[in-house]
Amino acid sequence: MVATKAQINGGKVGQASILYEKYIAQIFNGQQPGSHLDVWGERKTPPKTDVTTKFLNLSIKNPAGPSTSTQIQVSSVDRFCRLLQPAGIIKTKIDQFCGNHGIFKDKKLFEQHCKNVWSIDPYKLDPEKELRRCRLLVPSIPESDWMVNWFQSNRRKILEFVFATGFNSTANQATVASHILWSKKKDSKDFEIIEINSLIDSIVEKAVAKVRPSGSVIEIGPITIQMKGSGKSSSAYHCIQFNASLNDIRKWI
């Protein structure tokens, strides 16, 4: 199978990130931790820490610039919900928001699923933004405020997952990030180091979860939550993704 342009570019970005992490490890005389079993002890999961130093566990972000929205965490909806434990009715709404239904690309089957499983009239959905992408925008989700309120009520746990732990067990402290090292531009020697606990405290204290006008994005302070919308597989396309930019993060520190 021939790789797509997006996959090729993604591979180049991934390789560049690895080289930058090695550079940061060298200047801090640090190490790059390996993967350990996840919080359930079932399979290996990537560490949130990219480089450990004598005092810091650094999660490294190396975007094109401070305004660039950067992926902080991505997960399947099922795995995310297994960790965060929303009630079943909330899980269904997150499934709808990300298109997590197992019919990832078949528009006709998605229409049937909407009608027969979710009791939603597919003829009322946007043909491009919802039917083609096999997901629902927030305004189309019944009682969508329940989902938004759940994100608000659980924002500290969600932020800890996004910034610090991922699916790592806190028993493996080297894998849990304590700080973010955010380069001010691609591969820059100029960067900012942000303490994660202080950032989370600020967001929890001041932020209110809300839906952007597009209906495809929920935000909690500087963090945006959305369907990933890209990936090597159709299931990856429907993962839940958490993004932020350095400029937005700065407003909360």
- pLDDT, residue 2, reads 38
Residues 177 and 129 in one domain: no
Residue 186 has pLDDT above 50, yes or no: yes
Which is nearest to 184 in space by CA: 193, 176, 172? Answer: 193
Residues 22 and 116 in one domain: no
* Structure tokens belonging to residue 168: 């790592």
Q: Quick check: is 239 in a domain?
A: no
Residue 171 has pLDDT above 70, yes or no: yes
Residues 161 and 66 in one domain: yes
Residues 53 and 160 in one domain: yes
The Cα–Cα gap between 173 and 49 comes to: 9
The Cα–Cα gap between 159 and 168 comes to: 14
Which tens digits make up the pLDDT trace of 46-80? 999 999 999 999 999 999 999 999 999 999 999 99
Are 23 and 17 in contact by the 8 Å Cβ rule? The answer is no
- pLDDT, residue 13, reads 54
Share of the chain above pLDDT 90, in %: 87
Residues 60 and 25 in one domain: yes
Q: Quick check: is 177 in a domain?
A: yes
Residues 158 and 136 in one domain: no
* Structure tokens belonging to residue 41: 């002890």
Q: Which residue has the tokens 């959905």?
A: 125
Share of the chain above pLDDT 70, in %: 93
**Average pLDDT of span 80-109:** 95
Which tens digits make up the pLDDT trace of 211-249? 999 999 999 999 999 999 886 767 788 999 999 999 999
Residues 111 and 169 in one domain: no
- pLDDT, residue 153, reads 98
Are 131 and 115 in contact by the 8 Å Cβ rule? The answer is no
Q: How many residues would you count in the chain? A: 253
- Tell me if residue 57 falls in helix, strand or coil: strand
**Average pLDDT of span 107-126:** 96
The boundaries of the domain holding residue 186 are 1-73+154-210
Contacts of 125 (CB under 8 A, 6+ apart): 114, 131, 136, 140
Burial class from Cβ neighbours inside 10 Å (0-12, 13-18, 19+) for residue 57 reads: buried
Residues 45 and 140 in one domain: no
Which tens digits make up the pLDDT trace of 134-159? 999 999 999 999 999 999 999 999 99
